[in-house]
Homo-oligomer: A and B are copies of this chain.
Amino acid sequence: MRDLRTNSADDPPPSIGADLHLELRGPRLRAGLIDALREAVRTGRLAPGARLPASRSLAADLGVSRNTVVEAYAELVAEGLLSAQQGSGTRVAARVEPRGAAPDTPRTRPARHRPTYAMQPGSPDLSHFPRTQWLTAARRALTAAPHDALGYGDARGRVELRTALADYLARARGVYAEPDRIVVCSGFHHGLALMAQALKARRVRAVAVEAYGLDLYRDLLTNAGLHTPPLYVDEHGARTDDLARLRGVGAVLMTPAHQYPTGVALSPGRRTRAVDWARATGGLILEDDYDGEFRYDRHPVGALQGLDPQRVVYFGSVSKSLAPGVRLGWMVLPEKLVPEIVIAKGYGDYMSSTLEQLTLAEFINSGAYDRHVRSMRQRYRRRRDQLVEALRRSAPGVRVAGMAAGLQTVVDLPCGTEGSVVLAAGREGLAVSGLTQFGYEEADSGWRLPERDALVVNYAAPPDSAWAGALEALCRVMP
């Protein structure tokens, strides 16, 4: 599948893209490219020292944006698999040991080369996962569980978890929830995949998306056959006023509490307009409340869903509040949608472990979830304050944008410097993301996102032991 030719420095490979037998139209385009390159290096098909094609030509070759290639290279530089020297291009690092060289240990893989400081958005601080409390909840849950809890069970998920979530979400996020209208899923991505199927079955043709967001989710919708017209995003959030002008839109995907990744909140006026649009057209609002618990300057604004539970589908998960590895999320649905989502779920039979569901229910009911969120909120808040202060002192040319909330922030850079800062960070072992990769404009829509050079920095992810080093490295690469 992954067949990258070995190239010497003197033989630049114009056809490397054609030889990359990877389906690059699917979701995770950038991740797919990274994997293919990593595999080619590991297996020795790309030899140590070999020069990679210029990002511009590989991008043209693969039909992807240049930024995708630049950031894939940067990620692998950060992992230590590639090296980038000014003037010499990007090469396979000299010290990489191809896996083919050790055939006598076929069952062991070389440990993944990871960046020293992983600050791409996505992960919370995994080193503070409450292991002891989680095990206590698991023990209590499994001891108390009736035998039938170990069977296939309700496609919506265990009623114990749905009941615990209904209480928690009402209390913490102002969500109007009843256990019967909650469907447990494995995370937002899974929930959105189910939603896409249900929308297709309803003959919806388009889902509006924010002009900044994860390509992963846009690709998921596109692959389901849905159009994804973008809504412009400014300092008041997504321009929901524009919804009325978009044709054939049956739903809109939004991050109202904390726009991802630009970090602004949807203004009260635009919240109202979104709901007005949904009521007037029968459309649905898909509210991705990915980090709603983490607000540092005030009490979190309640979920949009509270304004109209019949028009808003609320999505949440433990991926930011606990850990992605737990793979538990939830959707709070308008009543009519429940059977449609249950049918969609049946097609793939993705049910979550009932033991984990019962464990999370116990973890919430015992108060351990609230305590953990409170403790992480203080921790992340302190981190963000330190980041703002460090950049203020050492990099007056940059600006921290967005609210005091969440796990990541946007750092605005001088015009034209984003790509080189991401690369420089990679050389320091610091993995951060450029904002450009989150931007989205339709080729034929007639409008363009304004140029904005910025980093998206996850200050939550590094463990305590790496935090000071990560912050120093970040300051060092600032222009």
Contact = CB atoms under 8 A, between A and B. Distances in A.
A179 interface: yes
A389 B223 CA distance: 56
Contacts of A163: 107
Interface stretch (A20-28, A304-312, A363-371, A411-419): A20-28
Interface residues of A, number: 68
Contact of A353 (B180, B189, B190, B353): B353
Nearest to A336: B1
Nearest to A328: B353
Nearest to A354: B325
Interface in A275-302: none
A134 interface: yes
A49 B355 CA distance: 39
Nearest to A179: B107
Interface stretch (A5-13, A137-145, A447-455): A137-145
A126 interface: yes
A190 B348 contact: yes
Nearest to A149: B325
A349 B193 contact: yes
B23 A348 contact: no
Contacts of A187: 349, 351
A203 to B, nearest CB: 13
Given A142-B131, A151-B123, A339-B2, A178 B106 contact: yes
A324 interface: yes
Nearest to A191: B349
Interface string A341-357: 00100111111111110
11 contacts: A1-B340, A2-B339, A27-B346, A123-B151, A123-B152, A126-B151, A150-B324, A152-B324, A186-B350, A193-B349, A326-B355
Interface of A: 1-2, 22-23, 26-28, 32, 106-107, 109, 114, 122-123, 126-127, 129, 131, 134-135, 138-139, 142-143, 147-153, 159, 163, 166, 178-180, 186-187, 189-190, 193, 201, 220, 223, 323-328, 336, 338-340, 343, 346-356, 463
